Structure 1
């Protein structure tokens, strides 16, 4: 799954801006060494990892991976957050909501455009019925949006509520 040379990485963005955004969700960013295995990483390699409220990454971790794992933390209930270690354990509906929310959260980061996130998600291999992340988000993600609305994580105007489920 490694597409690190073609996607935006943590080293390419403003770390304080990302830490500030994720801090609103009580997530702590923990940077590991360049050659170290990332704790809590489901996919391995340079992919972000989650253990409870700690989001582990390296400077070569893709931004889409960071946002995706952060959104898993945001979307899961408190019982799962309390025991979270590596596997977010989401069902398909929640997984779609996570993908949708990561796109909305990226709007709060000046160093990644929505178009870049779509492209990076496609490069990594996110798979949607319409063939691309952008097409899915714009035309086929009503179920994900509805899930986020029902769980109280976004407003009707698609702005994140900046709270945990």
Structure 2
């Protein structure tokens, strides 16, 4: 985790209603956590999103890319795994890639956000890709992620 948080889009900038509109119709409940409170189910702590069962926990200072990432872990999990989710979403490296790819796809569905902004936020936060940026990875090196999404969440690839 960075000691100085980079400038990225925060949930408070968009409002939680934008994330609720994305996730709640799919069965994932967005739960607001008060400023300064610990985020339940947060793997990384600090301001990072938390995931427990079918609940995505967010504070105003949670980065939107983190809310997307954890929510996409839930979307990529089968029903059995969803019921057991608590803090660590698990999965293998290819699933992690699929989650990253899906978060970039779904960025377009959030009012006030975009795929380009998601790429920039991921890069600023320190996601590491072999090609040097989230956008380059997404466009040129994500075949394994796409193949996994075809298996576990093909509805998002349309």
Show the 5 A alignment for 1:136-155: 136-154=137-155
Give ranges in structure 2 of 5+ residues lacking alignment.
none
Residue 87 (structure 1) shift? 0.4
Q: Structure 1 residues 152, 72: CA separation in 2 closer, same or farther (over 3 Å shift)? A: closer
Task: Find out whether 1:26 has 2:27 as its counterpart.
Answer: yes
Residue 124 (structure 1) shift? 1.0
SS at match of 2:147: helix
Provide, for residues 71-116 of structure 1, a one-character-per-residue CA deviation record: whole Å limited to 9, x for no partner: 0000011111111110001100100000000011111112112111
Match of 1:114 in 2: 115
Q: TM-score, normalised by structure 1?
A: 0.90
Question: For the aligned residues, what is the CA RMSD?
Answer: 1.4
Residue 44 (structure 1) shift? 0.2
Match of 1:86 in 2: 87
Alpha-carbon distance in structure 2 between the residues aligned to 1:9 and 1:149: 30
Match of 2:43 in 1: 42
Q: Which runs of 4+ in 1 moved over 6 A?
A: none
Show the 5 A alignment for 1:70-85: 70-85=71-86
SS at match of 1:107: helix
Alpha-carbon distance in structure 1 between the residues aligned to 2:26 and 2:5: 26
Match of 1:54 in 2: 55
Alpha-carbon distance in structure 2 between the residues aligned to 1:154 and 1:148: 9
Match of 2:136 in 1: 135
**Contact 2:75 2:153 (C-alpha < 8 Å) held by counterparts:** no
